[in-house]
């Protein structure tokens, strides 16, 4: 599936990758280069008018890490989630502190989702 995006977000996504939020960097180490069950993920991928934290096109999966920047933005996050789901994407959300303090359970959760949502 080809996902369209606002080309202006490409530069923004590149800058966000350079900033390197700790929880994203930690999770990225386990997702990059096909380390997660052989699936290729992208980091800070523009989709529509949004930039998602991690995206796997083969799984139609978005992984979001919610930190302090999401505080007070519930309605925005829900609009964003509904848009992404309308494209047929699944969104897995994890708390920033869970990634930092309990990354093993976050990884087990992602692996479990992949195992339950991919054909044998």
Query: What is the C-alpha to C-alpha distance for residues 56 and 120, in angstroms, rounded to an integer?
Result: 18
Q: Whole-prediction pTM value?
A: 0.92
Q: Is 2 part of any domain?
A: no
Would the pLDDT of 34 be above 60?
yes
Q: Is 1 part of any domain?
A: no
Q: Is 3 part of any domain?
A: no
Query: What is the C-alpha to C-alpha distance for residues 114 and 117, in angstroms, rounded to an integer?
Result: 5
Q: Is 83 part of any domain?
A: yes
Number of structural domains the chain divides into:
1
Could you list the beta-strand ranges (E) of 48-113. Answer: 50-56, 61-66, 90-95
On average, the pLDDT of the chain sits at: 93
What is the CATH classification number for the domain harbouring 111?
3.40.960.10
**Domain residue limits at 42:** 9-117
- Segment of 3-17, 71-85, 100-114 carrying the highest mean pLDDT: 100-114
Percent of the chain clearing pLDDT 70 (strictly above)? 95
Decide which of 39 and 68 is more confident.
Answer: 39
Contacts 24+ apart (CB under 8 A), 109-114: 110/36, 110/63, 111/36, 111/37, 113/61, 114/36, 114/37, 114/39, 114/59, 114/61
Q: Is 16 part of any domain?
A: yes
Q: Is 4 part of any domain?
A: no
Query: What is the C-alpha to C-alpha distance for residues 12 and 79, in angstroms, rounded to an integer?
Result: 20
Would the pLDDT of 109 be above 80?
yes
Would the pLDDT of 69 be above 80?
no
Mean pLDDT across the stretch 6-32? 94
Percent of the chain clearing pLDDT 90 (strictly above)? 82
Would the pLDDT of 58 be above 90?
yes
């Amino acid at each position: 599936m080809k996902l369209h995006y606002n080309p202006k977000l490409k530069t923004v996504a590149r800058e966000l990758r350079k900033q390197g939020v700790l929880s994203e960097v930690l999770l990225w180490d386990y997702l990059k280069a096909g380390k997660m069950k052989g699936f290729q993920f992208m980091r800070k991928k523009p989709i529509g008018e949004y930039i998602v934290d991690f995206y796997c096109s083969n799984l139609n999966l978005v992984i979001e890490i919610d930190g302090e920047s999401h505080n007070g933005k519930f309605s925005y996050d829900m609009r964003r989630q509904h848009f992404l789901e309308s494209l047929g994407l699944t969104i897995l959300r994890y708390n920033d502190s869970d990634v930092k303090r309990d990354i093993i359970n976050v990884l087990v959760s992602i692996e479990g989702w992949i195992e339950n949502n991919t054909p044998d």
